[in-house]
Structure 1
Amino acid sequence: MALRDHLTEPWGVLAAGLIGGLGGAVTAATVSAGVGIALGMGVAAAVYGLRVGLGVAFDRPSAPGAPDGPELLATPTRRLPEPPTGSPAELWLRRAEGAAGALRQQVASEEDPILRSQIDQVDEGAVSVLGDLRRFAGQVTLLADTAAWIDAPALHEEYEALTFALQTGPANLRDERQRGIQAVRDQLDSHQRLTEAQETLLVRMQAAVLGLEGLVVRLAELSTMHAASDVVGDTTSRVRLLTEDLDGLRSGLADAEALSRQVLAGEPPPGG
């Protein structure tokens, strides 16, 4: 869906209104009406922003006739935020760009036309991995920004206060306080899922970048050995290994994205 569709999607608006209203009502009953209204509006805004933000990040339109699947670049990507300077995502992305640039320079400077035509595949694969990592950096940034909307420490305090009130307060308010506890618990669970998905993508970014940097060294070694021995057959098999490793990097990124989707959906990981 387009951003406009996410903003006007009725279930997102309804969910934000219901959760915000519930949080406000519970707080009004236990604290004051003014605080309850303010809290309800804040909760509704956070839930609505969470719904829209994650929809834009992870919803990619399918091209006509294109099969559904986990491929990262199978369809055009949405515009995602740039990672802040100095953030882990930005640092890994800069290293990935450096590695991809070094690979491209090695390919361009290769004097043997046969070897250069072979390692062109490595350069193309590195460009694809870099494109995946750019989107990962944007998704990590959006997940971090969305998690920051949820004031987890304040929610933990609210959870403890409601739990204490449930145990010590009058029985006629028990149901309302239980609903309030569940509403707070749901927000804390959302914060945990966002954090786990962010960490999942960051770890996979790290592995992919280190893999790219390793390919730079291996490609330089390959070029040197070829110049020294001029054994074409051995070069062909080594280039094939490099391209297979690049395919493995992209597969790992696809697996990480699928796992992050499961985390955000609250599904247990495979084998969990």
Structure 2
Amino acid sequence: EPERRAARVLDVAPGTPEENWLRRAESAAEGFGSLSDSLDPGPLADRVADMAPVVQETLVTLRRLAGRASATGKALSRVDLDAVSTERRRLERELRSASAEVRGDLEQALTAVQAQADVHARLSGARDKLLAQLQSGALGLDSLVARGAELTAATTDVTVDTGAVRELSDQLEGIRQGVLETEEATRKSLG
């Protein structure tokens, strides 16, 4: 089986929504680590400690998604949709009255302009999906920390609610799967 290459982590543009969601996720991951460190040794501490690597893996994936969102935003800024729309309307008008000898060239130009509009639509859709998943991942990690804190406050090691701890693990796995699926989907949609 071929070895899978590590995904490159792109820079996250400062002051962007993706940076804000990434900071929120990083804060939640720190909160989870702090929660784990504060537990007395025992079954609950063991289960929470088992989740820590998955939290970190999820955070690494969120960093990649945030970088991809920034790169996508930068690419989007290179396609002036207003100018593309204006150009398309102009070409469509010219085509209506074009002679046969220039019609082919105008149609080719219109195809090129449409390709730019299509690129913009794909980039916009990918960025929206990335931002939605960053938000979902960050808020999911926040929720996981809150639920973990609630669980530690409500139980003693003697009365560890294994169902509630399993629920936390399941919630974390759902978050992890969601960010991985988004990463794969955007990688495919953007080529």
Same fold (TM > 0.5):
yes
3-state SS of the aligned residue for 1:230?
Answer: helix
Structure 1 stretch displaced more, 111-120 or 201-210:
111-120
Q: Tell me the distance in 2 between the aligned counterparts of 1:166 and 1:65.
A: 51
**5+ residue gaps in structure 2?**
none
3-state SS of the aligned residue for 1:104?
Answer: helix
Matched, 1:257 2:183: yes
Matched, 1:237 2:163: yes
Q: Percent identity?
A: 32
1:216 partner letter: V
1:83 match: 13
Give the alignment of 1:75-224 within 5 angstroms.
Answer: 75-85=5-15, 87-224=16-153
**5+ residue gaps in structure 1?**
1-63, 67-73, 266-272
Q: Tell me the distance in 2 between the aligned counterparts of 1:190 and 1:101.
A: 38
1:16 match: none
Q: Tell me the distance in 2 between the aligned counterparts of 1:88 and 1:172.
A: 50
Q: Tell me the distance in 2 between the aligned counterparts of 1:75 and 1:129.
A: 17
Q: TM-score, normalised by structure 2?
A: 0.92
Deviations 1:199-258 (A, max 9, x none): 01111111111111111111011111223x7313x2x33222211211111111122233
Q: Tell me the distance in 2 between the aligned counterparts of 1:164 and 1:205.
A: 42
Structure 1 stretch displaced more, 177-186 or 114-123:
114-123
1:196 CA drift (Å): 0.5
CA RMSD of aligned residues (A): 1.8
Q: Tell me the distance in 1 between the aligned counterparts of 2:188 and 2:5.
A: 20
Q: Tell me the distance in 2 between the aligned counterparts of 1:258 and 1:78.
A: 13
Deviations 1:90-112 (A, max 9, x none): 11001101111111101101124
3-state SS of the aligned residue for 1:127?
Answer: helix
Q: Tell me the distance in 1 between the aligned counterparts of 2:178 and 2:84.
A: 35
Q: Tell me the distance in 1 between the aligned counterparts of 2:24 and 2:9.
A: 21
Report how many aligned residue pairs link the two structures.
191
